[in-house]
Amino acid sequence: MSELIAQLVGVGHHYEEGPEIFKGVTLSIEKGTFHFLTGPSGSGKSSFLKILYLGLKPTWGNVKLFGKDTYKMPSHYLPLLRQKIGVVFQEFKLLDHLRVVDNVSLPLRVRGIETKRSLKHARELLDWVGLGDCLEAYPTTLSGGQKQRVAIARAVITRPQLLLADEPTGNVDDDMAMKLLYLFEELNKMGTAIIIATHNQRILEKFSYPQLFIKEGMINKEEPVLNLPKKKAVS
Amino acid sequence: MNNRHDLPLKDDAAARFVPAIIALMVYLGTLCFVFTLFLLHSTHSWESQLTTDLTIEIPVFQGIASAPLESRVLQVVTQTPGVQRALTVSQEEMIHMFRSLIGEDVNIDSFSLPIMIDVSFDRKEIVDIKGLETHLKSISPHIQVIDHRAWQSQVSNLIHTSVFLALMITFLILLAALATTWFATRTGLLIHRQIIEVLSLIGATNAYIAKQFQINTLKHGFIASSIGSFFAFVTFFGLSALFENENFSVLLHSSFFFSALSVFILAPFVTAFLMMVSARFAVMKALNL
């Protein structure tokens, strides 16, 4: 049996007086798997990712991450679990007062890696996502697509065990979207479990990975839409 | 150690006045503490000079020989248990004392100065003053026994109360400085809550976030405290010079002066350190909730 990265048991959630967005979801994410998270708008894709990166405590049920029960976990322990997770936020969440290169190197720095080494890694990664000439720029000066690539670079720089991406290709053109997907595939090959929330039908058709489909508060695992051969990553 | 600043704390509008407040508090606090030291030093110095616990006054009447009475009184006093020393104040000292009280131009020869005997007790023993007084009155009913310990004790209590109050004020000033740091840090947490949330989501521990505040507080706290302490030293030096002119040489007495100087030097380090601890507790308490 392969190692479980995340395990949800009977997870339910609703926002204050709002309707239930999850009704007892039970699901396992294994190490090295790749899933697309799909579903209609407002179905709870972002909330599901939030629950997984411990940004949202479910109203009931239990979430186990990396074998640890998070239900009664003290809050100061959560960042240590989050260090194993990379997140691409839908609204990027870049720090505007830091340069692009500092934003990307931030996850390494908070893990105690020395500044010089973390900046070197950040430069390499930014080069790869085509932002080699924006290292010294501040996020406020970047376009939506550029910000998205910075956010992706920040999420993958630590080679996390679990990568959660909320619409990571929403602001980039198709070529860049494909390139970013190949980057995620590369990470996946190195053992990272990946969950990408997307609406992009083209991506869903091109990359034949199972889908987690959210509908009416439940999550169903669906096999790939098409079994097209996977693209090789561009080196 | 990673000293990069991931939080833009130096641009906080809410914390802009904190260094000035801290500088003022350190100024007041160090002066108050040095004043406490001054009181303690003065008390110690004064108490060490107090050698007389009791004075016996024997009035001198014209035509009556006073020497036998004096020697008899001295004999009785020295034989009283607990008396360490009994000495007759010399005539020169008496004249000097009276001149300082009534002026130089008064003819002192027209007065019949009493015989004064200074008595010191062994502090470890209890002296029966009532018994001694009764005994002396039986020798001559005109003999007066003046017990100095009561007023000395009152003055001493007053000084110790003043020391306690000064220490309390110093403590309250320090507490106010730490509370200012605490609230400024909490305000900083609120201002930067979105950045802190991002840092936390990408794996920054509470200690890492607290460190950002600590470094900033330590730096600004040290600069502000140094400024406050420097101005307190200038004030102290000015007062010392002023009091020196007024013969209050105790201020520049070497041991007190160096004690005061060490307070001015240590104040910025101690204050900055305590502020840093206050900032850390404020962050950790808020983030652990």
State how beta strands A34-38 and A211-215 pair.
parallel
Chain A interface, Cβ < 8 Å to B: 53, 55, 74-76, 78-80, 82-83, 85, 87, 89, 93, 95, 97-98, 102, 106-107, 109-112, 114-115, 154, 158
pLDDT at A235: 37
Q: Of the segments A17-26, B9-18, B213-222, which one has the largest average pLDDT value? A: B213-222
Average pLDDT score over residue span B137-150: 87
If pLDDT is split at 50, 70 and 90, which confidence band does B1 have? very low
Average pLDDT score over residue span B227-236: 96
Best residue in B202, B206, B209, B283 for a mutation probing chain A (most A CBs within 10 Å): B202
Per residue in A55-85, pLDDT (tens digit) is: 999 999 999 999 899 988 888 888 999 999 9
pLDDT at B246: 60
Q: Provide, rounded to the nearest whole percent, the portion of chain A with pLDDT above 70.
A: 94
pLDDT at B242: 80
Contact B71, B58 (CB under 8 A): no
A97 contacts in B (CB within 8 Å)? 8, 11, 195
Contact A35, A92 (CB under 8 A): no
pLDDT at residue A160 greater than cutoff 70: yes
* All structural domains of chain B: 9-48+153-288 (no CATH), 51-147 (3.30.70.100)
Of B83, B78, B74, B73, the C-alpha closest to B127 is B83
- The answer to which of A9-18, A88-97, B16-25, B172-181 has the lowest mean pLDDT is A9-18
Contact B271, B175 (CB under 8 A): no
Q: What is the mean pLDDT of chain B?
A: 87
Of B181, B184, B177, B86, the C-alpha closest to B127 is B86
pLDDT at B234: 95
pLDDT at residue B51 greater than cutoff 50: yes
Best residue in A106, A114, A116, A147 for a mutation probing chain B (most B CBs within 10 Å): A106
Other Cβ atoms less than 10 A from the Cβ of B199: the count is 24
Of B98, B75, B74, B76, the C-alpha closest to B87 is B74
State how beta strands A60-65 and A4-14 pair.
antiparallel
Q: How many residues does chain A have?
A: 235
If pLDDT is split at 50, 70 and 90, which confidence band does B191 have? very high
A98 contacts in B (CB within 8 Å)? 6
Under 8 Å CB-to-CB from A64, ≥6 apart: which residues? A4, A6, A7, A8, A9, A70
C-alpha distance from A5 to closest chain B C-alpha (Å): 17
Q: Provide, rounded to the nearest whole percent, the portion of chain A with pLDDT above 90.
A: 53
pLDDT at residue B216 greater than cutoff 60: yes
Average pLDDT score over residue span A41-59: 90
Token pair in block for residue B143: 């003999």
Angle, CA of B103, B108 and B112, to the nearest 5°: 130
Under 8 Å CB-to-CB from B118, ≥6 apart: which residues? B51, B52, B54, B55, B85, B86, B87, B88, B89
Q: Please name the residue of chain B whose CA is at the shortest distance from the CA of residue A80.
A: B203
Q: Provide, rounded to the nearest whole percent, the portion of chain B with pLDDT above 90.
A: 42
A83 contacts in B (CB within 8 Å)? 203
pLDDT at residue A107 greater than cutoff 70: yes
